[in-house]
Structure 1
Amino acid sequence: MAVQPEAYTVVKGEGLPIVIAHGMGVDHRSLMMLDDAFAEGTQRIYMDLPGYGRTSALPGIGGLPELADWFFDTVDELVGDNKRFALLGNSMGGALVRDTLSREPKRVAGMALIAPVVDPVMSHRRLAKHVVADANPQLTQSLPQDKVIDFVTMGVNQSFDAWRRYQRYILPGTKLCDRDANAKLGQRYWLDGDPEQRMGTYHGPTLIVTGQQDQIVGNEDQKALLPHYPNAVYKIIDPAGHNIHVDNPEAVKSLLAEWSKKLLKS
């Protein structure tokens, strides 16, 4: 069996572990702008997924099924066998944490999803229309196109503050993305089975946050998850695109603060 990569992690706080999974093309830093939202008594474990940041790519075919297996095994290594933990996933990370939850729901204290992938097949998704809330040509026309294209196409907030967040937390990870690993992942972008069908119903604290103008995963497919999560808080942030936490961090932080408090009572 090929040697599996060891996850690079950054750990903040002490208490109930919350394992945090980012999306495609970025690294753990993409979600660290939210760190001050979490309740005291939680330990946030930010990891680089394989092929991103400082974690080596998966060996072999390296698709989403293999990544899901790696993530599940890595969570055990990080928090310890049979110990309780919570999960937070953004975009592709949302698919990974749903998969892990479905395998051992009794160990999971709660789950939060930010703009999560529900159906990995893009053509199956019900997408929103990308509309920029406040265009800022003074900013976008002054930046090199290779740096600004994702900022413009993903987000709807083109303020200087949003750009500073993107520049600090998103751009560094995009520069460390393993393009070959990313391409392999794109060629096998599906899960082995539907997590919710495998799991049935999960009653722990659940948060699902979507963007009104998200043209990558939309905000409709996530509603289909709700019957499986009867205690879920479902929120559409407006205005916000796929990078909800870049466009509207305070709204996301407020929701995460309440969710993390519920974790400590579950």
Structure 2
Amino acid sequence: MNLVSEAHGSGLPMLCLPGFSLARSAMVAAMEPAVAANSALRRIYLDLPGTGQAPGGPPDSDGVVDWIGEFVDREIGPERFLVAGWSYGGYLAAALARRRPEQVAGLLLICHGTRILRTDRDVPLAPAVSEDVEWLVDVPPDLRAHLSVALGNRVREAAARVATVLETAGPGDEEYLERLRTTGYQLSDEGSTTTYPGPTSVIAGRQDYIAGYADQFRALASYPAASYALLADAGHYLPFEQPEAFRGLVLDWLARCAATLGGPPLDQPAG
């Protein structure tokens, strides 16, 4: 299968995995404002199967994790690396850390899925919001229903930022993605009690009506070296809704990763 990625910077590899159906450009837009100035970090952004320039691929999420593992073996090799995942990408990132705990040197989970089937998720009840409210005025009509549920910071600027990201990052192979979501979404080890000991940061939005925040808190038992941040006025697109707070949390995580690795700082800009 063709593996499509892009890399920025040099140094310790950090693999970045986007949300379901979104191209790597969405994760670039989320992460680069937080880490672009860092001098010791090689950020690798990957198109998951059926997104961006990558064709459809494995029939289930276990296969997608294996596919990511093959990419790691080819592009990173045996070197230790960090992994960051947002939403479905976080679900996959957590699985990768469970399966490669000695190689994954740090784990960043952003509004991530812990129980991937919608019927299994513990999410807050979304308020009723009219789709023609002022904060959605710059959002294309076909995205308004989604953003009226997905955003917690319901201001015009945040909605416009997210709409731009979504329009740029999708759609991909919709037939493949729908089949994956319908028949192969849940990982076989989703309920695993395996712990990942490396530096972990779990970031959630108080108004995330898609992935929630309670399941993520309960999952902390699997991450003995984890911090957990719950941001008010943030939903499922937290990096774009609260970019300054998000940047601070990412830099804190990178500092903890660097301390564990015993190498140069990862949270400092180039001199």
Normalising by structure 2, what TM-score? 0.87
Instruction: Name the counterpart of 1:153.
Output: 149
CA distance in 1, matches of 2:228, 2:6: 28
Deviation at 1:132, TM superposition (A): 8.7
Specify the alignment match of 1:168 in structure 2.
164
Matches within 5 A, 1:106-185: 106-131=102-127, 137-141=133-137, 143-174=139-170, 176-185=171-180
User: For residues 51 and 144 of structure 1, what CA distance do their matches in structure 2 show?
Assistant: 24
CA distance in 2, matches of 1:30, 1:49: 12
Matched, 1:40 2:39: yes
User: For 1:147 and 1:124, how far apart are their aligned partners in 2?
Assistant: 25
Q: 1:7 to 1:143 in 2, by over 3 A?
A: same
The CA deviation string for residues 190-249 of structure 1, in whole angstroms up to 9 with x for no partner, is: 11223742xx33221100001101111110111222122111010111111111112212
In the alignment, does 2:255 pair up with 1:261? yes
Which one-letter code corresponds to 1:49 in the other structure?
L
Where do 5+ consecutive residues of structure 1 fail to align? none
Deviations 1:39-74 (A, max 9, x none): 431111111101011111116xx2222212212222
The one-letter amino acid paired with 2:76 is V
- The match for 1:232 is 226
Normalising by structure 1, report the TM-score. Answer: 0.88
Instruction: Output the amino acid matched with 1:117.
Output: G
The correspondence of residues 75-114 of structure 1 with structure 2, limited to 5 A, is 75-80=72-77, 82-114=78-110
Identical-residue share of aligned pairs (%): 27
Q: 1:265 deviation in Å?
A: 2.5
Query: Contact conserved, 2:17 with 2:86, CA < 8 A, in 1?
Result: yes
CA offsets, 1:126-161, max 9 Å, x none? 10233599x982352464411433232211233332
Runs of 4+ more than 4 Å apart? none
Q: CA RMSD in A?
A: 2.1
Does residue 71 (structure 1) correspond to residue 68 (structure 2)? The answer is yes
SS across alignment from 1:105: coil
* Structure 2: stretches of 5+ with no match in the other structure: 261-271
Q: Quick check: 187-196 or 209-218, which moved more?
A: 187-196
CA contact (8 A) 2:152 2:205 kept: no
For residues 71 and 50 of structure 2, the distance between their equivalents in structure 1, rounded to whole angstroms, comes to 15
Cα distance in 2 for residues equivalent to 1:180 and 1:160 = 32
SS for the counterpart of 1:264 is: helix
1:246 paired with 2:240, answer yes
Contact 2:136–2:156 (CA under 8 A) maintained in structure 1: no
Alignment partner of 1:265: what SS? helix
8 Å contact kept, 1:136–1:158: no
Q: Does 1:189 align with 2:185?
A: yes
* Alpha-carbon distance, 1:103 to partner: 1.2
Local SS of the residue matching 2:13: strand
Shift of 1:105: 0.3
Moved more, 122-131 or 16-25: 122-131
Alpha-carbon distance in 2 for matches of 1:89, 1:50: 15
